[in-house]
Amino acid sequence: KAGVTQTPRYLIKTRGQQVTLSCSPISGHRSVSWYQQTPGQGLQFLFEYFSETQRNKGNFPGRFSGRQFSNSRSEMNVSTLELGDSALYLCASSLSSGIGTGPSGANVLTFGAGSRLTVL
Amino acid sequence: AQSVAQPEDQVNVAEGNPLTVKCTYSVSGNPYLFWYVQYPNRGLQFLLKYITGDNLVKGSYGFEAEFNKSQTSFHLKKPSALVSDSALYFCAVRDSYTGRRALTFGSGTRLQVQP
């Protein structure tokens, strides 16, 4: 069973540019979450998509956006890149949305290897 | 609100000795608790989770964690550490009662196992 696939693995951009990162979840998983990992801030939640709908959003500026396609694949976009956007961006998939009360909150997230973005 | 704290940035232990990585949490209702491990240049890998029931949870690679409700803790343990256990460990929590909460991660603890 293939894992969560993120592309590209590494990329270098300059300030002001935009970037699109892609995530293919495990087959059958309908929920995709995105996290930003930096040495200073740790793991911060960006957003979660389930059935092509954004279910939850973290405290990031509007420059960060995402979407999910009908095959559950997801993309996130960062526009007008800043130096502080340099980070490892992690995508995680799960069977169902963890949002909401009840057992779905205990769903395990399966993470991809991440996309490491460097902004110069 | 939900939060999780990992009070130690780094834990050093000799190979063969028991290890403990500490985690405390705060939630409004009952917690769902998780431990993940991250190796260099890799994503996070799931180790174990607590939902309800037995306070001692067994997970992958010989790891276990003890849930303590009165101390709001969920410490990760292993009876005998291996050099290959050296990695970054994250505790995470989600409140089972709130409707719109993503998984919240702690700041991570780097485990260094010396040969």
Give the minimum alpha-carbon distance from B101 to chain A in angstroms, rounded to a whole number: 6
State the pLDDT at residue A40: 87
Would you call A102 and B96 a contact, using CB atoms and an 8 Å cutoff? yes
**Mean of pLDDT over chain B:** 93
Taking alpha carbons only, the member of B104, B110, B95 closest to residue B38 is B110
For residue B98, pLDDT beyond 70: no
Token pair of A42 as six digits: 């740790």
Q: Tell me how many degrees the CA angle A99-A63-A14 measures, rounded to the nearest 5.
A: 130
Choose, out of B4, B9, B44, B60, the residue to mutate when testing the contact with A (most A CBs < 10 Å).
B44
Nearest to B46 among A6, A90, A110 (CB): A110
Nearest to A47 by CA among A85, A76, A11: A76
Which tops the pLDDT comparison, B101 or B77? B77
Q: Dig out the tokens for A68 from the structure.
A: 């999910």
Q: Which has more pLDDT, A10 or B102?
A: A10
Q: How far apart are CA A15 and CA A76, in angstroms?
A: 17
Q: Cβ of A112 and B104 within 8 Å?
A: no
Whether chain A has a CB inside 8 Å of the CB on B96: the answer is yes
pLDDT in tens, chain A (120 residues): 679 999 999 999 999 999 999 999 999 899 999 999 999 889 999 999 998 999 889 999 999 999 999 999 999 999 999 999 999 999 999 887 655 445 556 678 999 999 999 999
pLDDT of residue A101: 47
Q: Using CA atoms, how far apart are residues B90 and B93, in angstroms rounded to an integer?
A: 10
Q: To the nearest whole percent, how much of chain B has pLDDT over 70?
A: 97
**Chain B CA closest to residue A45:** B102
Q: Chain A residues within 8 A (CB-CB) of chain B? A: 4, 6, 33, 35, 42-43, 45, 48, 55-56, 58, 90, 92, 98-103, 105-106, 108-114
**Chain A residues touching residue B43 (CB < 8 angstroms):** 4, 6, 90, 92, 111-114
Q: Which of B43, B46, B97 lies nearest to residue A114, judging by beta carbons?
A: B43
Burial of residue B10 (number of CB atoms within 10 Å: 0-12, 13-18, 19+)? exposed
User: Tens digit of pLDDT for each residue in B29-85?
Assistant: 888 999 999 998 888 999 999 988 889 999 999 999 999 999 999 999 999 999 999
Q: Tell me how far apart the alpha carbons of residues B4 and A32 are, in angstroms, rounded to a whole number.
A: 22
Chain B residues whose beta carbon lies within 8 Å of the beta carbon of residue A21:
none
| Predicted local confidence at residue B110, as pLDDT | 97
CB contact under 8 A, A48 and B102: yes
